Amino acid sequence: MSAIEINFDALVGPTHHYAGLALGNLASQKFKHSVSSPRRAALEGLAKMKRLADLGLAQAVLPPHDRPDLRTLRRLGFAGSDAQVLADAAAHDPQTLAACSSASAMWAANAATVSPSADTADGRVHVTPANLVSQFHRSIEPPTTAAVLRAIFADESKFAHHEPLPATPLWADEGAANHTRLGVAFDRPGIEVFVYGRDDRGLAALPRRFPARQSRAASEAIARLHRLDPQRTLFVQQNPEAIDAGVFHNDVICVGNQNVLLYHEQAFAAADVERIARMFDGNLHLLQVRAGELSLAEAVETYLFNSQLVTLPSGRMLLIAPAESRDNPKVQAVIERLIAGDNPIDSAIYVDVRQSMQNGGGPACLRLRVVLNESERAAVRGRVFLDEGLFAELKRWIEKHYRDELRTGDLADPNLGRESRDALEELTGILRLGSIYEFQTS
């Protein structure tokens, strides 16, 4: 049965702001306390989705999370009415208020790890939400993520849902941002490559400047849960030097699609790329960008490797890069070399996701890749596949509910939370997902 890859992009939430919450994410730190535009951010993300859909690619949407997370603030001792909780948190712990108001679920590449049915022993699509334990503001996401994914992929005969791994450093899991699937065709068994930053058995060097977020133990546990073939599963180590340069996830320094792996010379430790090539059954195009062409710092600044690499209906591949890559002469030279080379990539386009980029997330961060066959696509619940009608309705919804500007000081405004919940209540009706948020069922 034929299968395709579907990009499930998360809609940017109404509380999108710049609080500099992510240690090791250089852009997040650089734009800390800048004025954000939730409306512009959401429209940029939606425009990217529309552009992919117009190219004939399957595109779907995921709803934002409910923020501010009042339940977590109350667990931390802030009490009283909603307005009192927000005011008390703003007065005594504004950074925690910012964390509980984060719209970071917009970066759906961290939402979960998904293995297609062609790779799993029971022939079902397996889904494990990431625990995101390394960052507090993201560690509060798994319950909502799990509820959303269970609502969309509800048919248990086709989809297997697992609980997030235990929320401890040993099992630190950052989702698909550290996972790449390679294979000649989407409907045939592929190779699942898990990239980790640390091995708690002391077998791997560690970065010195920033923490390594993904553990090898977590990657191995997900491979077991998803019942993957050990002969087609590979665990490779991220280069500690890359992490210290601001490569907090592997998708900031490497992107793969089918039989193409585009990566920086300093992406991995040891000879891991050669291990991938030996395991691949067929012609694998290993497209290396040398440090002399583009330094690690330049790769992080321009997010070339956080481009989406997609297969068009024609069978050729397209690189979807951030506008920042278009503006850098060195990156342009690399892209021109790739397009002119003997490989499936024959074109590139550029998308403006500047609001996301300023918080450290490029085009690839905004989407969760899900490979589904025809039967599985038919079982997807809700109105989540983007078409002209849904695009127009979501655009109107954003323009109606989102603020044009947001400062970190605005997070204490109780009206912001009410505006957000009103927006999400309407959105669940648009997407026909039912009551997926706690405030809808409590």
Residues designated as active site: 174, 249, 365
The residues that bridge with 196 in the sheet, in sequence order, are 237
The tokens for 225 are: 């849960």
Confirm if 235 and 196 have CB atoms less than 8 A apart.
yes
Q: Could you give the C-alpha distances from 98 to 35, 73, 74, 199, 412, in angstroms and in order?
A: 14, 11, 14, 31, 9
Is 101:71 a contact under the CB 8 Å cutoff? Answer: no
**Closest C-alpha among 368, 371, 261, 239 to residue 305:** 261
Structure tokens at 423: 């927006």
- Residue pair 353/335 in contact (Cβ under 8 Å)? The answer is no
Q: Which two tokens stand for residue 431?
A: 């997407």
CA distance 185 to 3: 8
Amino acid sitting at position 112: A
3-class DSSP assignment, residue 257: strand
Ramachandran quadrant class, 188 (left: phi over 0; alpha: psi -120 to 50; beta: rest) = beta
Distance CA 370, CA 52 (A): 15
Could you say which DSSP state residue 292 is in?
Answer: T
Backbone conformation region of residue 432, classed left if phi is above 0, alpha if psi is from -120 to 50, else beta: left
- DSSP-derived letter for residue 437 is S
Tokens of residue 405, six digits: 């500007």
CA separation (Å) from 61 to 290, 320, 365, 398, 414? 35, 18, 14, 14, 28
Q: Give the CA radius of gyration of the chain.
A: 20
* Tokens matching residue 82: 């909603």
